[in-house]
Structure 1
Amino acid sequence: MAPIPNVIEQPAGDHIPIAIAASATVEAIKASVDSKLAIWGLQLKEHGPQTLADIVMPESYDAATLTVDGEAIEIVDANGMPNRRYLWSPTLRAVFGGVLIFSGVHVWTADTKGAEQRAAWRSNLDAIAARAPDVVVPGHMATTAKPDASAIAHTKAWLAAFEQELPKAKDAAALIDAIKARYPDADMGIAIDIGAKVAKGEMAWGKP
């Protein structure tokens, strides 16, 4: 399925949930899961979920931190981006970026439709970079990508390229061609294929 924002697979206390997410994110997932299944079930076939019974629904978790092996991990809200968060480990100086950070692949923008939210995304990337992390774990990355700050730079540059090419492209096909020309070696082509159609109004994302 498409990236589901900010689902954290992490034990919490005596009860060990399979996945946790903020309450608002859980509600957003519940509201969109049927339409996402209708779209991605056809795309993924036997390689992905086909019915609601196949979906692992995260449990609500609204604390500002979680603890792993005795270490506190901060859950940081992304400013100006509903249902977007990342994890910060002060001890490891590590960022776990979720759907905010990509490396070596095209960036998923279908769920971030407006220019204002994409601008907020770039600002959040600046804030993450300002932490000077030693380790950066993207939500999606190429097999050759390094888990370091280059992922932040890649995501920000890709988003800037998307913003530059979007108004110049007459349609989604032209936008796809322009971005693929700028990033010929990037994996995850489905991200730009769908993202371009949504941005150019040729596809109503989230509807079957």
Structure 2
Amino acid sequence: YRTSLFNKELKVLIGGIDVFNEIHVFLADTSSKAAMETWIENLKVLQALNADIIVPSHGSIEKSLNNQALTATMDYLRTAVQASEESGTSKDFVAKLEAAYPGYANKGVLELSAKVVTKEMPWG
């Protein structure tokens, strides 16, 4: 159910729901460590396509539109996994992600995701 489109000739990847570019990532649907690690593996497959241009499904035109978008999302997910293991509350989780990614947009998404990741709020 995680679909992206790749044009091999033009080396353009139109990212599906997994592809962000340097903004806070929506984690509520994939809040477990295993789900985030699977997401990272999926992004590695997309990164191996070596696209010259990446159109994220969630992001900003002012941010990376190349493989850096995938790298940044994978790094974010790794940080989120670590923060989930170290955070007792959603506030702790938010503080860790904000410290790691100052200036990232989508703070409301981060706050909602934090509540789901830390199990303060049920989801799905």
1:5-49 deviations in Å (ceiling 9; x for gaps) = xxxxxxxxxxxxxxxxxxxxxxxxxxxxxxxxxxxxxxxxxxxxx
Runs of 5+ in structure 1 lacking a partner?
1-82
Matches of 2:64 and 2:114, distance apart in 1: 27
Runs of 5+ in structure 2 lacking a partner?
none
Percent identity reads 27
Partner of 1:199: 117
- Of the three residues 60, 65, 68, the one matched with 1:142 is 60
Q: What SS does structure 2 have at the residue aligned with 1:167?
A: helix
When Rg is computed on C-alpha atoms for both structures, the one with the higher figure is 1
Partner of 1:184: 102
Partner of 2:49: 131
1:166 Cα deviation from its structure 2 partner: 0.9
Structure in which a larger fraction of residues adopt helix: 2
Question: Is 1:169 aligned to residue 108 of structure 2?
Answer: no
Partner of 2:78: 160
1:85 Cα deviation from its structure 2 partner: 1.3
1:108 Cα deviation from its structure 2 partner: 0.8
Matches of 1:101 and 1:188, distance apart in 2: 14
Matches of 2:119 and 2:84, distance apart in 1: 12
Matches of 2:64 and 2:77, distance apart in 1: 19
Matches of 1:104 and 1:115, distance apart in 2: 20
- Of the three residues 119, 128, 136, the one matched with 2:37 is 119
1:116 Cα deviation from its structure 2 partner: 1.3
Matches of 1:143 and 1:85, distance apart in 2: 21
RMSD across aligned positions (CA): 1.1
1:146 Cα deviation from its structure 2 partner: 2.6
The one of the two structures with greater contact order (alpha-carbon pairs below 8 A, sep at least 6) is: 2
1:134 Cα deviation from its structure 2 partner: 0.7
Q: What SS does structure 2 have at the residue aligned with 1:136?
A: strand
Tell me the amino acid that sits aligned with residue 112 of structure 1: T
Tell me the amino acid that sits aligned with residue 11 of structure 2: R
Tell me the amino acid that sits aligned with residue 202 of structure 1: E
1:174 Cα deviation from its structure 2 partner: 0.6
1:120 Cα deviation from its structure 2 partner: 0.9
Query: Cα–Cα, structure 1 residues 177 and 151, in superposed 2: closer, same or farther, change >3 Å?
Result: same
- TM-score, length-scaled by structure 1: 0.57
Partner of 1:48: none
Structure in which a larger fraction of residues adopt strand: 1
